[in-house]
Amino acid sequence: MLEQIIQAAQGFWKTLPDVLTRIAAALGILIVGIILIRLGRKLINRLFNSYRKKHDGNSRGNTVQTLTLSLFNILMYVALIFTCLSTLGVDVGSLLAVAGVSGFAIAFGCQSLIKDVISGMFLWLEGSCNVGDVVTVAGQTGRIENVALRTTTLRATNGSVFVIPNGEIRTVINMTSDFRFAVVDVSVAHGQDYERALTVLREGMKRVNQECDYIDEDPIVRGYISMDRGAATCRIECRCSVDKCWDLERVIRLRAMEALAQAGIKP
């Protein structure tokens, strides 16, 4: 028994230098790999930033950038892990063979992950939504901050961040495609001159056009769209750029209330 322990100890001391050398080499590869990954990320960001400057901040470029970074990270980290294992003496070929044999079981267990990745690729290829767009997906509304292979990140107007698996995105409502309509509903209390109220609102909308240099026409007073026991509801619309929609709605609402108040019409 003692002889076996002595032999094991002697064997350990003989192999210790080789083991330490392998560990040191693996650590060196790990450090160099992490540095290369960071340099690669910086290079990708620099290339896409240059592209955006030439194309006026193209949102399609932002989306391709986030997806490229996501794919680059996955490939580089997988390659780095296998290189480190090979340096430590692990038979990577056997691991790949085992992975191949058990691939069906892994694929079955990772159905949702594969679904998310494939959906992410289709989102990018179709261009239905890009980084910077304001969208409603999976019941959440916000501005897209990141589109990765597996998830899409939205930031709501209150600052909340929603991370949505791409596989759950079935319907996309994109509110930043070319233009939007600012829509404001104004109520007019019953028992007043409804036609006069429309005339007053149209005059008030001329002031909106003079005040807002980002619209080319007066907001259109569509007329009454509904009524209840207390008031009739009039709708006002105006076409504008996407980023100015909410600002324009606030101005329309303010000027409509002022015009009605000055005319003595109760909202």
111-174 under CATH 2.30.30.60, yes or no = yes
Q: In what order do the strands lie in the sheet with 151-155?
A: 161-165, 151-155, 140-147, 134-137, 172-174
Structure tokens at 172: 């996309």
Contacts of 31 (CB under 8 A, 6+ apart): none
199-250 confidence digits (pLDDT tens) = 999 999 988 888 888 888 889 998 899 988 889 999 999 988 777 888 889 9
Q: At 94, is the secondary structure helix, strand, or coil? A: helix
Q: How far apart are CA 188 and CA 197, in angstroms?
A: 8
- For domain 180-262, the question of CATH label 3.30.70.100 is answered with yes
158 vs 16, residue with greater confidence: 158
Residue 133 has pLDDT above 70, yes or no: yes
Distance of CA 223 to the CA centre of its chain: 37
Give pLDDT tens digits for 43-100: 888 887 776 666 555 555 666 777 777 778 888 888 888 888 777 777 766 666 655 5
Amino acid residing at 120 = G
| pLDDT, tens digit (0-9, with 9 covering 90-100), for 152-207 | 888 887 888 888 888 787 777 777 766 778 899 999 998 889 999 999 999 999 88
* Gap between the Cα atoms of 173 and 151, Å rounded: 17
Q: Position 64: which residue type?
A: V
